[in-house]
Amino acid sequence: MKIVTDSTADIPAELLQKYQITVIPLKVMMENETYQDGVNITPEAFYNKLDMMNTVPATSQPTPYEFETMYQRIHEKAGEDISILSIHLSSAMSGTVQSAVLAADSVKDEVNVEIVDSLKASYAVGILVVEAAKLAADGAGIDECRKRLEERKEETSVYFLVDTLEYLQKNGRIGKASALIGSLLKMKPVLSLNRDGEVYPYHKARGKKKAVAVIQEALEQQYGRRPVHIGVSHAEAKDSGKELLHAAESVLNSRSSTLTKIGAVIGSHTGRGTVSVAVTPAE
């Protein structure tokens, strides 16, 4: 079995290589140029460009044809008996899952492709992808992996701590007045995803320290002392990412932890300085 995901999963290169995970990139359009997320634009280059723009970048999902080509290439390289588990960004946030579904139907006579809508974003997708890849490496079949993922995604949580309200306002998530008032009051919005994979404002805290405390409380209430895997992603804010990771580890029973970067597509909606923590049960 082979595992496919998309670039919004924000999985570190060493884990992609270790588990032989294939990534299909989403695209980001900036200043009349189109970039493939994580292919021909790095997070660092993206945020540097973003800082100089007055408009919000546009993003787009892979086309069904691009998915078809990838599935066929994996099939040709791996052999006829291969199955593919394709795990992607929440369908409430992108058309990526729909493109994958259409492509899987087109190649169904050649290769078995199963699509999983993670209902998550950033490393909350990645943490599920790595879980599936570990199962596959241990010899699990596609049905077992899919069943485990469907269970795990219900128990996986993610919180985003946004450094600025500017991009939420530009993307239409909040109004200009709310953004201005929030900035003046130094409000730090904590965002999360609901059961349908949609972004919603979980909490508004006065300052970063209180926002982190809100996230700690939410995680501790949900997981207690249950063993978990923790993943923190950051938008060129490594120190803040390390602080959030330490804060999560201090209240949870961590079996493993990962620190990674938020790429161009997710970063288009959150901006520089955002940090996110994803947690999933380890057993």
Number of neighbouring beta carbons within 10 Å of residue 110: 13
Name the CATH architecture for the domain at 2-26+61-154. Answer: 3-Layer(aba) Sandwich (3.40)
Kindly write down the DSSP assignment for every residue of 125-139, as one continuous string: HHHHHHHHHHHHHTT
The phi, psi pair for 129, rounded to 5°, reads -65, -45
Question: For residue 31, what pLDDT band results from cuts at 50, 70 and 90?
Answer: confident
Q: What is the pTM of this model?
A: 0.93
Pick the CATH number of 157-281 from 3.40.720.10, 3.30.1180.10, 3.30.465.10, 1.10.287.950: 3.30.1180.10
202-213: average pLDDT: 90
User: pLDDT digit string (tens) for 154-197?
Assistant: 999 999 998 876 666 565 544 444 544 455 456 788 889 999 99
Residue range(s) occupied by CATH 3.40.50.10440 in the chain: 2-26+61-154
123: phi > 0 → left, psi -120 to 50 → alpha, else beta; which? Answer: alpha
How many C-alpha atoms does 50 have within 13 Å on its Cβ side?
28
Nearest to 269 by CA among 56, 43, 97: 56
Taking the C-alpha atoms of residue 25 and residue 48, their distance in angstroms, rounded to an integer, is: 20
